[in-house]
A and B are shown apart, each in its own frame.
Chain A
Amino acid sequence: MDIVETKNLKKYYRAGEGIVKALDGVDFSVREGEFVAIIGKSGSGKSTLLHMIGGLDTPTDGEVLVDGKRLAGMDREQLAIFRRRKVGFIFQNYNLVQNLSVYENIVLPIELDGVHIDFGFVEELLELLKLQEKKELFPGMLSGGQQQRAAIARALASKPAIILADEPTGNLDTESSHSVLGLLKMAAKRYQQTIVLITHDYDIAQLADRIVRIEDGRIVKGGSVYA
């Protein structure tokens, strides 16, 4: 079953006199539990595609369906709720809330949703991501790798339908990068999570079940699992 599907997705920007086609008719799908890596050069449109799937940005044309829900008709409020329930984001620069502890960061999306926190699950995540000792610390007190592990824990904590990771190892050294990705993959496997990961590093992309190449806003390889 497809957890993500985009149909003829377009995102055009006006820049001066011309138009930039960040996405130009992208048909793309991801199956449930699949780990997909999107690779492409800088400015190829990979981040834009991720933002569209995550409901962070709105398309110029086309459709995005996540877990059977069309994002097109949702307002800002509904999109925010969709994100905290269905999507877990992991960013290159971690984007942790600096004035909350690691633990508070992790449970924040659940608390925002007003639902009961599954403490056992959170503890399990902390254990899995080796953050038990760090949970009371603030992000500023952690190394880059530790911060990214906290971000992964936060992304997983609300048990979303899909994890979207935008260059999660971009700010990390090689050792930390492998450690973080290893943990991400392991966690995804344990909880049957779907991952869409953006990278420009082919070695990292090799860890995925499928690699999608994007160039000039178009998918040139691996757009669909059926292809």
Chain B
Amino acid sequence: MLRNNNSAVVAKMAVRSLSGNKRKNIVLILAVMLAAFMLFTILTVGGTWLHMQKVQEIHLQGGKYDVFFYGGFTKEQAEICKNHPEIRAVGIKGMAGWGIKTEQDSTLHSTFVWADKTQWEKIMRPAREWVRGDYPQNSNEVMATKAALEDCGLGNLSIGDSFTITYGDALGEHTKKFRICGMWEGYGDKKVFYVSKTFFDQSGFTLEDYGRGFMHLQIKNAFLTDKKFKDLERDLKVGKKQRLMLTSTASDDMLYLLLGLSGLMAVTCLSAYLLIYNIMYLSVSGNIRYYGLLQTIGMTPGQVRQMVKKEMQIVGGIGIGAGLLLGIFTSFGLIPAIVKVLGVREKDIEIAFRPLFICLSALFAAATVKIGSSKPVKMAAMSSPIEALGYQAAVLCNRKRKVRNSLRGSLIWRMALERLFRDKKKTAMVVCSLGISLSVFLCMVTLIESQGARTIVSNYMEADMAIQNDTMQMKEKSGWKPLIDHSFLKKIEEDGAVKEMHPILNEEIIIPWEEDFVEYWMTNFYDMWMEESYEDVKEDYQKHPEKYYSFLVGIDREEFRYLNSAIGNKVKEADFLEGNVCILYENTLGLDFEKVKGKRVSFYLSDNPERNCQMAIEGMSNDSYYANLLGTTPTLIVSDKFLKGISDNPYVSKVSIRYRREYDTEAEDRIKGLIEASKEKKDFSYNSKIEELQMVKKAQGNMMGIGMGIVLLLAFIGIMNYVNTSVSNLQSSQMELSVMESIGMSQAQLRKLLIREGLLYALMALIFAMTAGLSVTYYLYQSMNYRGIPFWMPVIPVMAAVFVVMLLCILVPLIAYRQIEQKESLVERIRRFEC
């Protein structure tokens, strides 16, 4: 209709308006800047971490693949992989032999491996720094590395040279001359000679053999969900000895990481949105008269909208620009530090500066500014000139109001409540903003504390120290030494700082063959752990059960109670202590407990075949703490009383110790002193909770610091929001407060009113955090709780945060009112509003 070339004057008005409201605009710019900074940092940290994790994985694995098929594979399985819709590439590797000796060295560690074209050119290429020459085609050619040659004492050889080596394969030992047709350098296992397909075919091994054939799979998508991985396992009909392993960057943990990052970004945007909305809402409400005036002199609503939008564009532009610049500058130091804390061990961390991240951060921040300011912009444009002429920030009391009994309740509390709910939307915004800050704090602190070194160590290590007799790791019982004997245990017991100790007793036993339980166990054991088939050894076992020995593990009542609490099928304590029943160590065989429960197992001590025992199995456990000695036949956990009854002098394989005071370093030093004093000190080993704590702390680095950094940035936005609202609220209600003062409200009463108002804000924010915040925290906590640590809210930090919020809510309005009060006298204040 009437299109005017007036954008210049609108822009000028916007700039002037901005320079006239410095305080408001600085806060706005700061909010946008922090949001852009946080978004950029979150995206860059996420991107860098993902990238570095992938690089690290390629370096550690020696190739770029997502799924590893181990344990040999059939032709059908290879075909299924090649045609599978989820799989992009299939690399095949075959173990063709191992080095035995050269003229220069007789203890070789190098192996001979064949890699197919996909494996060599696609899977392994990203892990190689350089390659010279060609992949072997003939059976006497090898592709070598410096490390492999050095292992053979042939470090001076290079491409074109030949060497003679004795190696082993399925057919026996051979000595052969090889020519080095190529060399490579890079990451992964380097003590390897890559050989031709012909060589592999002549080795006697097939890809179906356990431990000889491997597949490396690259998937089409970024990651494989748990369901899709299980589908793949099912499609491939993975056998008992075969394993399909998913690398960490391809697992759906990545999905959780992405969700976590998105969540953090959403909270950042929400905090910034609340602040921008609030500031703009307050600013526009306070400037209704100004916008009305502009409309009176002919500015159209569209032009007003354009002007306020322009203001926000300038604020947003400056804020986003400054935030991104800050992000880019700090990221050189900050991002590698965060990424290292998150578990990347690479020396050189390449920061993933992607234009996409800059664009996305700017886009999200800009969208936040736009959405946050759209309602206030509309409000400014809709301000009626006539209302503006007589505008005063007054309460709209056109709705029915309840008639209150003025005598009920404290007047000051009532006034505070009334002030709080006068503008419900504004109050809701401030409460949301403060509540979100508190909730993020609660969430971060709970997650960080639960993943904190002390919590992790305390949770997975019950005892303060566990000492182990390493001589009992030897296969032959003749090598065992009674290191943890009666006198050693007595010295520990006599230490005043030791609260309790629990020795684990061991005896070697023989379990003769029987067709029911033992047969079931042996079949599963050989399927799972042994290269040869059970059928091949069954006869031998039946004839010579002593060659297939196992162990009895004796535990005391306290250890039993702990173990019994952790297993599915509860065992009656009296039956266990009396030696009527035992608990079977499952050895991760995946046994069906129903096939085991109640089965009686017969055994005798290996050095006393006369003493035959029989016991019913009533429980099953996979806790390896009790099974440091493993045989072929089942390991049985029995009561120490029973064990002592059948054996005169059982060995103590380990002893767990608990101090009266957790993490008592002095007590631990004394115990370590006992080990040091032993002549056989090298045969002891121990696990210490204190040392574990130090190690976990070191591994976690400054995780707490970074978490707190995020919390503080978000809390800062929330606090700014409260400060801003509080100050603006006071400014707009100056007239009301001044009038109350003039009709006799004392300074003390005014202060009380402001304190109560602040307390109500704090209370509502706390309710928000303790309901919505706590629910989200609990959900997040449980979804990340891999270690099964019980949910626990860290009391001290949370109480401290609550205290800070309360203090802030009380002090900010008091300080703001003091400032206003000191600037003008009561009369001046009232007169200012009258004119």
| Residues of A that sit less than 8 Å from B by CB | 51, 54, 56-57, 76-78, 80-81, 83-85, 89, 91, 93, 95, 97-100, 104, 108-109, 111-115, 154, 158, 171
By a CB distance below 8 angstroms, the chain B residues around A76 are: 300-301
Residue on B nearest A51 in the bound complex, by CB? B386
Give how many A-B residue pairs fall within 8 Å (CB-CB).
79
Q: With an 8 A cutoff between CB atoms, is B6 at the interface?
A: yes
Q: Are B386 and A100 in contact (CB under 8 A)?
A: no
Q: Judging by beta carbons under 8 Å apart, are A113 and B6 in contact?
A: yes
Q: Is the CB of B297 within 8 A of A84?
A: yes
A91 to B293, CA, bound (A): 10
Q: Known contacts A56-B389, A100-B16; is A113 also within 8 Å of B4 by CB?
A: yes
Complex Cα spacing A91 to B289, Å: 13
- Min CB–CB distance B54 → chain A (angstroms): 54
7 contacts between A and B (CB under 8 A): A76-B300, A77-B1, A81-B298, A95-B297, A112-B6, A112-B300, A171-B835
B299 touching A80, Cβ below 8 Å: yes
- Within the complex, the shortest CB–CB distance from B296 to chain A, in Å, comes to 6
* Interface SS of B by simple majority: helix
Known contacts A77-B300, A83-B296, A83-B297; is A99 also within 8 Å of B17 by CB? yes
Whether the Cβ atoms of A80 and B293 lie closer than 8 Å is: no
Q: Knowing A57-B386, A91-B389, A97-B290 are in contact, say whether A112-B16 is a contact too (CB < 8 A).
A: no
B150-174 contacts to A, CB under 8 A, are none
Residue of A nearest to B295 (CB): A80
Query: Can you name the residue of chain A whose Cβ is closest to the Cβ of B5?
Result: A114
Is B385 on the interface with A (CB-CB < 8 A)? Answer: yes
- CB-based nearest A residue for B382: A76
Q: Which residues of chain B are within 8 angstroms of A113 by Cβ–Cβ distance?
A: 4, 6, 298
Q: Assess the B4–A112 pair: CB atoms within 8 A.
A: yes
Question: Do A85 and B19 touch across chains, with their CB atoms under 8 A apart?
Answer: no
B300 neighbours in A (Cβ, 8 Å): 76-77, 80-81, 112
Q: In the assembled complex, which residues on chain A have CB atoms less than 8 Å from the CB atom of B386?
A: 51, 56-57
Closest 10 CB pairs of A and B: A84-B298, A114-B4, A111-B9, A80-B300, A114-B6, A99-B20, A99-B16, A114-B5, A57-B386, A109-B298
Q: Give the chain A neighbours of B293 by CB distance below 8 A.
A: 95, 97
Residues A108 and B297 in contact in the complex (CB < 8 Å), given A56-B386, A77-B302? yes
Which of B1, B17, B20, B296 interacts with A95 by CB under 8 Å?
B296
Complex Cα spacing A57 to B384, Å: 9
In the complex, what's the smallest C-beta–C-beta distance from A50 to chain B, in angstroms? 10
Contact partners of A95 in chain B: CB under 8 A: 293, 296-297, 389
Whole-angstrom CA separation of A80 from B19 in the bound complex: 26
Seed contacts A77-B301, A85-B298, A109-B298; 5 additional CB < 8 Å A-B pairs = A56-B385, A56-B389, A57-B386, A97-B13, A114-B4
Contact of B297 among A93, A99, A109, A114 (CB under 8 A): A109
**Nearest Cβ distance between residue B834 and chain A, in whole angstroms?**
12
* B299 touching A112, Cβ below 8 Å: yes
Say whether B303 faces chain A, with CB atoms less than 8 Å apart: yes
CA distance A109 to B13 in the complex (A): 12
List of A residues within 8 angstroms of B12 by Cβ:
104
Kindly report which residue of chain B lies nearest to residue A96, judged by CB atoms. Answer: B293
A51 CB contacts on chain B under 8 angstroms:
386, 389
Partner of A112, one of B9, B19, B301: B9
Interface string of B383-421 (1 = CB under 8 A from A): 001100100000000000000000000000000000000
Query: Are A98 and B297 also in contact (CB < 8 A) when A56-B385, A108-B9, A111-B6 are?
Result: no
- When distances are taken between beta carbons in the complex, the residues of chain B under 8 Å from A154 are 297
In the assembled complex, the Cα of A158 lies from the Cα of B303 at a distance in Å of: 18
Residues of B within 8 A of A (CB): 1-2, 4-6, 8-10, 12-13, 16-17, 19-20, 290, 293-303, 385-386, 389, 835
Residues from chain A with a CB closer than 8 A to the CB of B17 are 99
In Å, the complex CA distance between A113 and B3 comes to 9
Q: Considering the chains assembled together, what is the distance between the CA atoms of A123 and B171 in angstroms?
A: 110
Q: Using Cβ atoms and an 8 Å threshold, which residues of chain B touch A56? A: 296, 385-386, 389
A171 to B299, CA, bound (A): 25
- Complex CA–CA separation, A81 to B297 (angstroms): 9
B701: shortest Cβ distance to chain A, in Å? 51
Smallest beta-carbon distance B414→chain A, Å: 25
Instruction: Compute how far the CA of A114 lies from the CA of B9 in the bound complex, rounded to whole angstroms.
Output: 9
Q: Which residues from A are CB-within-8-Å of B302?
A: 77
Q: Is the CB of A81 within 8 A of B294?
A: no
B298 close to A83 (CB less than 8 A): yes
A89 touches B297 (CB 8 A): yes
Asked if residues B294 and A97 are in contact (CB atoms below 8 Å), the reply is: yes
A12 to B1, CA, bound (A): 33
User: Could you tell me the distance between the alpha carbons of A113 and B298 in the complex, rounded to whole angstroms?
Assistant: 8
Chain A residues, CB < 8 A from B389? 51, 56, 91, 95
- Determine the chain A residues whose CB is within 8 A of the CB of B299 once the complex forms: 80, 84, 112
- A109 CB to nearest chain B CB (Å): 5
The contact of B298 among A57, A112, A171, by CB within 8 Å, is: A112
Q: Which residue of B lies closest to A89 (CB)?
A: B296
Report how far A115 CA is from B3 CA in the complex, Å: 11
Cβ-defined contact, B8 with A112, below 8 A = no
Q: Which residue of B lies closest to A57 (CB)?
A: B386
For B10, list chain A residues within 8 Å (CB).
112
Q: For B5, B389, B835, which residue has the most chain A Cβ atoms within 10 angstroms?
A: B389
**For the complex, what is the distance from the CA of A171 to the CA of B835, rounded to whole Å?**
9
Q: In the bound complex, do residue B20 and residue A111 qualify as a contact, i.e. CB atoms below 8 Å apart?
A: no
CA A13 to CA B235, docked complex, whole Å = 78
Alpha-carbon gap, A51 to B292, bound state (A): 13
Which chain B positions have C-beta within 8 A of A104?
Answer: 12
Closest to A93 in B: B835
Return the chain A residue nearest B6 by Cβ: A114
A113 to B299, CA, bound (A): 8
Instruction: Report the minimum CB–CB distance from B19 to chain A (whole Å).
Output: 7
Taking the closest CB of chain A, its distance from the CB of B741, in whole angstroms, is 25
Interchain CB contact under 8 A, B298 and A80? yes
Residues of chain A within 8 A of B9, CB atoms compared: 108, 111-112
When chains A and B are docked, how far (Å) is the Cα of A65 from the Cα of B160? 105
Min distance, Cβ B100 to any Cβ of chain A, angstroms: 90
Contact residues in B for A89 (Cβ distance below 8 Å): 296-297
- Residue of A with least CB distance to B303: A112
Closest partner residue, chain A, to B293 (CB atom): A95
Minimum CB–CB distance for B311 against chain A, Å: 12
Contacts of B6 in A (CB 8 A): 111-114
Chain A residues with CB under 8 A of B294: 97
CB distance from B301 to the nearest CB of A (A): 5
- CA separation between A112 and B10, bound complex, in Å? 7
Q: Which residues of A contact B16 (CB under 8 A)?
A: 97, 99-100
CA distance A80 to B304 in the complex (A): 11
- Min CB distance B385 to A, Å, is 5
Q: Across the interface, which residues of B come within 8 angstroms of A83, CB to CB?
A: 295-298
What is the bound-complex CA distance between A218 and B566, given in angstroms? 93
Chain A residues, Cβ within 8 Å of B301: 76-77, 80
- B residues within 8 A CB of A98? 20
Chain B residues in 8 Å Cβ range of A114: 4-6
> What chain B residues lie within 8 Å of A57 (beta carbons)?
386
Instruction: Give Cα A95 to B294, complex, Å.
Output: 9
Residues of B within 8 A of A93 (CB): 835
CA distance A115 to B4 in the complex (A): 8
Shortest CB distance B381–A (Å): 9
List the B side residues contacting A81 at CB < 8 Å. 2, 298, 300
Per the bound structure, the CA–CA distance linking A108 and B16 in Å amounts to: 13
Residues of B within 8 Å of A97, CB to CB, are 13, 16, 290, 293-294
- A140: shortest Cβ distance to chain B, in Å? 11
Question: A158 CA to B5 CA in the complex, in Å?
Answer: 16
Residues of B within 8 A of A84 (CB): 297-299
Most B CB atoms within 10 A — which of A57, A76, A93, A112? A112
- Shortest distance from the beta carbon of A150 to any chain B beta carbon, whole Å: 12
